[in-house]
Amino acid sequence: MTKRKRSIIRVEDRSSDTPKWMITYADFIMLILVFFILLFSISQMDEAKFDAIAQSFREEGVFDSSPSISPFEDPIDGTEQNDEQLDNLMLQIQQYLEKENLQDTVVASRTDRGVVIVLQEQVIFNSGEAGVLPQAHPVLDRVGELLEGIPNFVRVEGHTDNRPIQTAQYPSNWELSTARSSSVLRYMLETRELESERFAAVGYGDTRPEVANDGPANWTLNRRVEIVILNRFYEEESE
């Protein structure tokens, strides 16, 4: 009897017929698909579940055990500390003014900008001049001493009334107000150990009156220099 030989057909690996780039491409497409599925699932995450997961991490101390590479200041704590410093500074200034009986010529107030110290013209300057008078030295010395203990930025602002001035040295109120703020700032920097980069001198002329320029009494109030110890978290809208 003749035995039939069974033909054996070898099935070769079909992958050998598939270009290698196509396999890589298919894997890449699959990874992208998985990535977008993850994004979709995250976007649909229930808020309550997310809060629960976050709370569990906090309870386990996950965040505490992995400190940030760059430490940062808690903005809430920083604001509270800054407010406390300014409130304390305000109290010291008020006590000094009361002790020296200067409330009528030097006014201090606490505003959103920070602590504002207003010095009237007659306290620090002769009319139409920008040289700091000796009688103003004790006040500026005390202010400078207090400024040594805080890091806040300080603006010294000069203001005039609206009556025009035209001299060889000061052609307008712009030059006079700027010269006055610069004189006050220069005195404090020369007599105290203060970082000059924390200060700026500005002259506003008659553009920011305290009261209406309608008579001698109000003209006197508008001729002033303001020392503004700025709140570290305050940004002026006009700046």
Q: pLDDT for 47-90, tens place per residue?
A: 666 666 666 655 555 444 444 444 444 555 678 888 888 899 89
Mean pLDDT, the chain, whole residue set = 81
Say if residues 232 and 153 touch (Cβ distance below 8 Å).
Answer: yes
Q: How confident is the model at residue 97 (pLDDT cuts 50, 70, 90)?
A: confident
CA distance 112 to 125: 28
Q: CA-to-CA distance for 186 and 228, rounded, in angstroms? A: 15
At 136, the amino acid letter reads A
CA distance 222 to 209: 5
- Taking a C-beta distance cutoff of 8 angstroms, is the pair 135, 123 a contact? yes
User: Would the pLDDT of 2 be above 80?
Assistant: no
Helix (H, G, I), strand (E, B) or coil at 229: strand
Query: What tokens appear for 51 in the block?
Result: 């809060």
Can you give the pTM of this predicted structure?
Answer: 0.65
Average pLDDT over residues 26-47: 74
Domains of the chain: 18-65 (no CATH), 75-230 (3.30.1330.60)
Tokens at 60, concatenated: 């386990």
Query: How far is the C-alpha of 142 from the C-alpha of 155, rounded, in Å?
Result: 17
DSSP per residue over 199-226, as a string? EEEEE-TTSS-SS---SHHHHHHHSEEE
pLDDT, tens digit (0-9, with 9 covering 90-100), for 143-186: 898 888 888 999 999 999 999 999 999 999 999 999 999 999 99
Residue 237: pLDDT band (50, 70, 90) is: very low
Q: Which residue did the predictor score with more confidence, 18 or 136?
A: 136
